[in-house]
Structure 1
Amino acid sequence: MSNSFNTRSTLEVDGDPYQIYRFEALKSKYDVDRLPYSLKILLENLLRKEDGRHVTEQDIEALLNWEPMAEPGVQIAFTPARVVLQDFTGVPAIVDLAAMRDAMQRLGGEPKLINPLEPADLVIDHSVMVDYFATPNALKKNTELEFQRNEERYKFLRWGQKAFANFRVVPPGTGIVHQVNLEYLAQVVFTKTTPPATLAYPDTLVGTDSHTTMINGLGVLGWGVGGIEAEAAMLGQPITMLLPQVVGFKLTGKLSEGATATDLVLTVTQMLRQKGVVGKFVEFYGDGLDNLPLADRATIANMAPEYGATCGIFPIDRETLRYLELSGRDPARLALVESYAKLQGLWRESGSREADYSDTLALDLGAVVPSLAGPKRPQDRIALTNARQAFLGTLRQDLESRHALPANHEEERFASEGGDTAIGWQGGHETGAIEIELGAEKHLLKHGAIVIAAITSCTNTSNPAVLIAAGLVAKKANALGLKVKPWVKTSLAPGSQVVPAYLEKAGLLGELAALGFNVVGFGCTTCIGNSGPLPEAIAQAIREGDLVVASVLSGNRNFEGRIHQDVRANYLASPPLVVAYALLGSMASDPYREPLGRDRNGKAIYLKDVWPSQREITELMGNNISSTMYREQYADVFAGSEAWQALPVPEGEIYQWPESTYVKHPPFFEGMSLEPPGPPKIEAARCLIMLGDSITTDHISPAGAIKPDSPAGHYLQQHGVAPKDFNSYGSRRGNHEVMMRGTFANIRLRNKLAPDTEGGWTTHFPSDTQMSIFDAAQRYQETMTPLVVLAGKDYGAGSSRDWAAKGTKLLGIRAVIAESFERIHRSNLVGFGVLPLQFKPEESAERLGLCGKEIFSIGTLAGEPGSVSVKAVTETGEVTEFEATVRIDTPTEWDYYQHGGILHYVIRALAKQSEAS
């Protein structure tokens, strides 16, 4: 490696020498201290990786001369220290690596070269579903079902763990990847033995989950990428990126009594979405950090994808060290973190110099109020005082969009005084109350009924304060004799084994269970659509009455169709509010003014009667959480349960693909030659789908239940899988046949080419026949017709799902033309050889008069142009021609696109390397 700036140096900590790349050598010429914390991390990365090829002296100078206000235009190469994966995205990544070994063998290369060069950890956390709930044996039964459903996938992962070096698997039932990362995997300052010295440098990573950013709360720079980019990073390819703008978010003051970290993060998310930070780094600073525990920082950092930023990072300070000590890290690591951070200017002290930022905004923590977000976007914050009115507005809007309402229909007709009934209109007739029988009792299920209340997701289950608060609400409610409404499906899915340990010690685990919040599994459940089935009586009533029912969950995502297919309104809330709403039972009720229930004497009990004080929470945390607890729970984290250890492990460096509906050899590398094909011509293309704004990767590649009458459902049934054994789309991401049939199959997708429908429908041209998107794509492929997608703003928001790009490619879609793209999905499209094109400002499909029936031809991509001409010809021969921006943003991305994708590029590079040796 080069050392053009003479920064290579030595740091000694407690007698141990470390080789570092020290900023001090730069300060005579450059004002390094003005750089934001996150850019200092990137600076060190470039200094250490300077090789004259991927990283040059000019790249380092560009970062040192960073202009805060300049539009991003400088490309740099970022090499993360490690990669983390969850199993939904991790399984297809390992499937790809296995298929790449096959391809390498066919090309005459050495298959073993396909192997992680950087450490990679996969945490199995997305496969458990909430089938059983509100019973003491829910955890046991859900775990048994998890292994029955996923045995084929788990065997495959055990093979990968054995076949690939530098690859570890955290078995199922341990926790959520981000919490395991925060509590155990992260080092803050990474070390690597490279004789004759041990290197010390900032811990950095990329992960195959959008919420990888949660680790930013610990001062670790990392973000979510698609599985495609993660695989390349594992194989030693640097991640190319544009030197970003950095937005500073100044925090002052402290949270008021009654406000939680969840309320804070929903406020921050709303502010940053309104500010506009897509593709930017966000960095938190200010003296308010003195009053912000590490878990609260992690909660804020977790939500970076929801506010659109690449990362949302906090600096290293005393609180960082306190958390590392609490979570059982080695004292030697703590000493190294402190010494390194202080020496490099990465340490925060109150009153220290503020960095230069591209833009700033500020928040007094004392202004934060209890909040929810919903009904379908995390950034749509609602003050709890306005929750009832907001829901009634949502209800009216929903019913108006699907049914004719009387012109003089007043909002109060939706809910009687007190919100005890919620009545809608349908075809001029009052509806909205269906009688159901649960056990021996009859109830009316109405619009607004909360049918799911889930304490779930990495956002909050990493935060002891809000979980202790939830336990205290339960304890006070139990003491008063309150009960959860019988139609509410309750669940508690902890993010790690530490959570039930401290809840049990604090005497709160049983209190939560007494209200039906029994532990249902360790992993990501309701938040990703693994909410499991609703009781049949409730599901039937919802469909019979066309009811707009709700879920309340402590998650980070509430997109349409994500939580449960029968639930139209979904709200994010803090864990204690989840418990309170389970008691209340309806979004049409006011949690401040209406009782949660009545005590044994008939007295009305209100939210204020069960809400804990900050002092109660702090005392319980201090008395019941210790470093010993963390060390005990993580002592043997990779061993797994008896069921995991009993799984047979296939042998060999080349995977012997079995007959399976879970793991199938993908077709991506079939017919691949040693030389790249170059950019394809896109002529006489048809539009498969025409979409509006805010199309998420959930819309493109669903993760929830598979409907029996869907193309994916038909495929599984044809292969002998009964609907009860379908599992979920996410669990079947190792099978391209299922996933391509599930692409654009979200039940809430609205395709303008199939008006008056919801779901995976389109119209095939020129036959003008309505059919499923998959069937239409197959018909177009029979005639060798390339396809395009037309879309609005923020195309591809949400989770970092590589299948949203892979499925798009397999359907035959060559280009997506949108008004704007979210960062990860745009990158994934390029990474799988799909062309992202962006309408020019003030232009859109609608403004250009496009209807989607046209035939499209895209100009040449020779010479790597910044824009390209698109010609659309109607059935009558009318021509619309417009220029679109080519969103292939870096020279390296052009390399990937010309090779047909990033994995093809890597295979060819390694095959030639193997040939040369």
Structure 2
Amino acid sequence: MSSTLREASKDTLQAKDKTYHYYSLPLAAKSLGDIARLPKSLKVLLENLLRWQDGESVTDEDIQALAGWLKNAHADREIAWRPARVLMQDFTGVPAVVDLAAMREAVKRLGGDTSKVNPLSPVDLVIDHSVTVDHFGDDDAFEENVRLEMERNHERYMFLKWGKQAFSRFSVVPPGTGICHQVNLEYLGKAVWSELQDGEWIAYPDSLVGTDSHTTMINGLGVLGWGVGGIEAEAAMLGQPVSMLIPDVVGFKLTGKLREGITATDLVLTVTQMLRKHGVVGKFVEFYGDGLDSLPLADRATIANMSPEYGATCGFFPIDAITLEYMRLSGRSDDLVELVEAYAKAQGMWRNPGDEPVFTSTLELDMGDVEASLAGPKRPQDRVALGDVPKAFAASAELELNTAQRDRQPVDYTMNGQPYQLPDGAVVIAAITSCTNTSNPSVLMAAGLLAKKAVTLGLKRQPWVKASLAPGSKVVSDYLAQAKLTPYLDELGFNLVGYGCTTCIGNSGPLPEPIETAIKKGDLTVGAVLSGNRNFEGRIHPLVKTNWLASPPLVVAYALAGNMNVNLATDPLGYDRKGDPVYLKDIWPSAQEIARAVELVSSDMFRKEYAEVFEGTEEWKSIQVESSDTYGWQSDSTYIRLSPFFDEMQAQPAPVKDIHGARILAMLGDSVTTDHISPAGSIKPDSPAGRYLQNYGVERKDFNSYGSRRGNHEVMMRGTFANIRIRNEMLPGVEGGMTRHLPGTEAMSIYDAAMLYQQEKTPLAVIAGKEYGSGSSRDWAAKGPRLLGIRVVIAESFERIHRSNLIGMGILPLEFPQGVTRKTLGLTGEEVIDIADLQNLRPGATIPVTLTRSDGSKETVPCRCRIDTATELTYYQNDGILHYVIRNMLN
């Protein structure tokens, strides 16, 4: 193959009377062989390699390996991928900007040029994670929540404004605008990017990485992208390619159509369950089949959004006529839409009816078979048919600790002078929330229409239900108002509370005090029903033990029924003014009613709302910052602190030290999420983080959340493993972030034990089951353990992003051999761990791990090194990815 394949494949195309240069896959195929049936998602990767071919980071062999994937629908090769841009939200964005500012300090200390610490590709940070539902159920809720958000987060927002002026190619979408993935879908995403290079317009596929796991939503628009940890995103911004193995691609064939009364949410919960069962971790999923011909783009985006829940790197929908239709609706320019069509067709990236690419494996779903569903009570992949929810709720309640001592009697409480009884199974939170569903007009209009029918019949929300509406974009408010549905949602308590993530990420705010007291008094098992994408235990609210994902209309229905024990398929939701029972089927809107409402959504709404997307409110505009290259750190700040990760860094890396005499800090079960490892929600006053804040004079009402304090490592290391629902098997029967400081027997917080081990210079280990680190792309779930002194995590399997984050922080991920677990080994957590010869580590190698039991007996377990690529090994040997990037800048 010619070494000038990149040059040989350069071609031009016309779109809207303009000439664009591009790297043509059909021209490259003359040297590579036929690539027509390569999955469309891999064609995007292939173009990327072609465009960046330099003979070093991208070679002929890399391009040949990707083209040769067709032979076995698999390829064992590491490639370097360079996404077009980076997307961030503020919970992950603040610590990323803290890291960039700290990197400038380190480069300055080591005699380098600080201006090199600057993004080389566009970065958009959308502030969406900080609004909390403090106020709800009235017309002032939105203004009050925004006021509190600006008060609590003034220092963080000032810091982000500093970052906006200090770093190039860095834009900030202010708070109160929308959720990053919805803003990305409706405005930022281009499908095809174009830029002027040396006097020529170059066209190439839009692609990105994001610091939020649901970045995958943009794949619904035919844009390849996925979530990475903040540390990996920072490296990508600074010009470091994303190292990845060429993925397997699972084809998911969709046929038929959804039946009357079935929603896009029911479809995505079914797809999630099927793909989790199939096993798609580390793989791409690509959708195909004639079902796509009638699947609206909003439904595609809902399915793509939940890729992290089914475990795939992404869920890709190729560009087709429906993509263009959505781009026009959302106010994209005619020039862009024409370019997208011309480019996708020229590159063989356009989806034609009957396309059957080659896939590693396939699944098929007739959408006519999908039934009304929820997912719960603790995992998004645990789909439950609507009629089976009471059974699933009862089963989940039986699994709780101390269940035998509970009588589950309703608890009396008084609110606003009225006496009530709070029953076991009460729905205490009903939230229309999250980009997953609020980007989808059909399910939001359905919720509004259902509310209208309910109000007309005289139904009311149950008094213990905290209801809220938090769309991911202002466009939602426009079309609900246009359809005259807002008053009915308001009547049922679904008033607008904010434009941001809110309940979906645990910012549900406090429950009314009488409700919280009643739950504690009766030790009640209560529920939250939300239109979100995650329902891990402890995530939505500390007192709510079961969380259920549902479509927006079902969220409204559960607010009316008020109890998880009500069977919505057969039981009445309530009674009309005459006292007659009203069933779900009586108020469920027809497909025609929903379609008529959706027709009211117009491109003018999108253009109006996004015309000043970077402007912000008067409060945002009034935040003043001083212009400077390095940040003026405040030693008494409880939000923004200079991170310690580069404090002892030298210009050359030291050899990797072996692990000797490591103690086990925590021994954990299956499906431990990044939320268990580093919670994002509320901070308890009696926790190590709560005590730290109180020592700095911070009152409880000003604690804010863990997520909002990720710019302060002191809070975050104290919050590591502090989820109130985590169960450390070293302390049976105990919930919360507790452990033993061995060889002692006393229970103490994980943070306190880790600090004692640090004084003794004892390295630490974590032992876990399957799917360790699933959930959010939370880099603090790796940064926190690093600061506690954890050197190795040994698990049965890892979720993709978290495994990469551990390596990015210099922590070794090891996997037990097939069939070997902490249980088969009979581990107690009292074992001492030794791992030798780490200087000669190789990707995927077998590593002998020596366990010394408390009786002195030894056992060696051959674990698999989950450093998967040579690039990852380089990062590990440099003590982390950012250390490697800094050393590159110095050289």
Matched, 1:895 2:871: no
Range 783-792 or range 3-12, more displaced: 3-12
The SS at the match of 1:451 is strand
On the 8 A contact 2:247/2:282 being kept in 1, the answer is: yes
One-letter amino acid matched to 1:188: A
Counterparts of 2:570 and 2:384, CA distance in 1: 16
On the 8 A contact 2:268/2:303 being kept in 1, the answer is: yes
Q: Deviations over 1:435-490 (max 9, x none)?
A: 11122321211110000000001100000000000000111111111100000000
1:827, distance to aligned residue in structure 2 (A): 0.1
Partner of 1:244: 247
Between the two proteins, the alignment pairs up a number of residues equal to: 885
One-letter amino acid matched to 1:885: R
Structure 1 segments of 4 or more deviating over 2 A?
1-5, 26-29, 67-73, 395-398, 862-865
The SS at the match of 1:507 is coil
Counterparts of 2:149 and 2:763, CA distance in 1: 40
1:397, distance to aligned residue in structure 2 (A): 3.0
Partner of 1:136: 139
1:770, distance to aligned residue in structure 2 (A): 1.4
The SS at the match of 1:18 is strand
Partner of 2:608: 632
Question: Superposed, which structure 2 residues align to 1:22-41 within 5 Å?
Answer: 22-28=24-30, 29-41=32-44
One-letter amino acid matched to 1:891: A
Partner of 1:402: 402
1:432, distance to aligned residue in structure 2 (A): 2.5
Partner of 1:377: 379
1:193, distance to aligned residue in structure 2 (A): 1.3
Counterparts of 1:149 and 1:839, CA distance in 2: 44
Partner of 2:627: 651
1:612, distance to aligned residue in structure 2 (A): 0.2
Q: 1:673 aligns with which of 650, 663, 675?
A: 650
Partner of 1:714: 691
1:133, distance to aligned residue in structure 2 (A): 0.3
Counterparts of 1:27 and 1:165, CA distance in 2: 37
The SS at the match of 1:435 is strand
One-letter amino acid matched to 2:373: S
Q: 2:594 aligns with which of 589, 601, 617?
A: 617
Q: 2:783 aligns with which of 798, 806, 815?
A: 806
Q: Deviations over 1:246-285 (max 9, x none)?
A: 0000000001000000000000000000111111000000
Partner of 1:387: 389
1:845, distance to aligned residue in structure 2 (A): 1.8
Q: 2:554 aligns with which of 577, 580, 592?
A: 577
The SS at the match of 1:862 is helix
Q: 2:464 aligns with which of 472, 487, 504?
A: 487
Q: 1:277 aligns with which of 277, 280, 300?
A: 280
On the 8 A contact 1:73/1:243 being kept in 2, the answer is: yes
One-letter amino acid matched to 2:676: H
One-letter amino acid matched to 1:390: A
Partner of 2:256: 253
Counterparts of 1:16 and 1:845, CA distance in 2: 63
1:722, distance to aligned residue in structure 2 (A): 0.8
One-letter amino acid matched to 1:443: Y
Cα pair distance change 1:679/1:68, threshold 3 Å: farther
The SS at the match of 1:247 is strand
Matched, 1:819 2:777: no
1:676, distance to aligned residue in structure 2 (A): 1.0
TM-score when scaled to structure 2? 0.98
On the 8 A contact 1:224/1:824 being kept in 2, the answer is: yes
Q: Deviations over 1:543-602 (max 9, x none)?
A: 000000000000000001000000001100000000000000000111122211111111
Question: Superposed, which structure 2 residues align to 1:280-295 within 5 Å?
Answer: 280-295=283-298
1:691, distance to aligned residue in structure 2 (A): 0.6
Q: 1:297 aligns with which of 300, 305, 309?
A: 300
1:71, distance to aligned residue in structure 2 (A): 5.8
The SS at the match of 2:338 is helix
Cα pair distance change 1:631/1:2, threshold 3 Å: farther
On the 8 A contact 1:432/1:546 being kept in 2, the answer is: no
One-letter amino acid matched to 1:229: E
Question: Superposed, which structure 2 residues align to 1:501-580 within 5 Å?
Answer: 501-580=478-557
Question: Superposed, which structure 2 residues align to 1:59-208 within 5 Å?
Answer: 59-67=62-70, 69=72, 73-208=76-211
On the 8 A contact 1:701/1:742 being kept in 2, the answer is: yes
Question: Superposed, which structure 2 residues align to 1:406-425 within 5 Å?
Answer: none
On the 8 A contact 2:69/2:75 being kept in 1, the answer is: no
Partner of 2:754: 777
One-letter amino acid matched to 2:324: L
RMSD: 1.1
Cα pair distance change 1:27/1:72, threshold 3 Å: closer
Partner of 2:366: 364
Partner of 1:415: none
Q: 2:451 aligns with which of 466, 469, 474?
A: 474
Range 598-607 or range 291-300, more displaced: 598-607
Any gaps of 5 or more consecutive residues in structure 2? none
Counterparts of 1:882 and 1:197, CA distance in 2: 58
The SS at the match of 1:34 is coil
Q: 1:828 aligns with which of 791, 805, 808?
A: 805
1:14, distance to aligned residue in structure 2 (A): 2.3
Counterparts of 2:286 and 2:5, CA distance in 1: 29
The SS at the match of 2:253 is strand
Counterparts of 2:452 and 2:73, CA distance in 1: 54
Q: Deviations over 1:40-89 (max 9, x none)?
A: 00000000000111100100000010057566521001100000000000
The SS at the match of 1:366 is helix
Cα pair distance change 1:892/1:778, threshold 3 Å: same
Partner of 1:18: 20
On the 8 A contact 2:70/2:358 being kept in 1, the answer is: no
TM-score when scaled to structure 1? 0.96
On the 8 A contact 1:155/1:650 being kept in 2, the answer is: no
Counterparts of 1:341 and 1:520, CA distance in 2: 40
Counterparts of 2:653 and 2:5, CA distance in 1: 34
Counterparts of 1:264 and 1:825, CA distance in 2: 27
Range 488-497 or range 654-663, more displaced: 654-663
Counterparts of 2:509 and 2:669, CA distance in 1: 30
Identity %: 60
Counterparts of 2:462 and 2:745, CA distance in 1: 49
Partner of 1:905: 884
Q: Deviations over 1:412-441 (max 9, x none)?
A: xxxxxxxxxxxxx62xxx343101112232
Q: 1:314 aligns with which of 312, 317, 327?
A: 317
On the 8 A contact 2:670/2:769 being kept in 1, the answer is: yes
The SS at the match of 1:182 is helix
The SS at the match of 1:459 is helix
Counterparts of 1:15 and 1:589, CA distance in 2: 61
Q: Deviations over 1:654-701 (max 9, x none)?
A: 101123101110000002110012322211111100011110000000
Counterparts of 2:415 and 2:730, CA distance in 1: 42
On the 8 A contact 2:232/2:808 being kept in 1, the answer is: yes
Matched, 1:886 2:865: yes
Range 11-20 or range 551-560, more displaced: 11-20
Any gaps of 5 or more consecutive residues in structure 1? 405-424, 913-917
Counterparts of 1:544 and 1:562, CA distance in 2: 21
One-letter amino acid matched to 1:201: Y
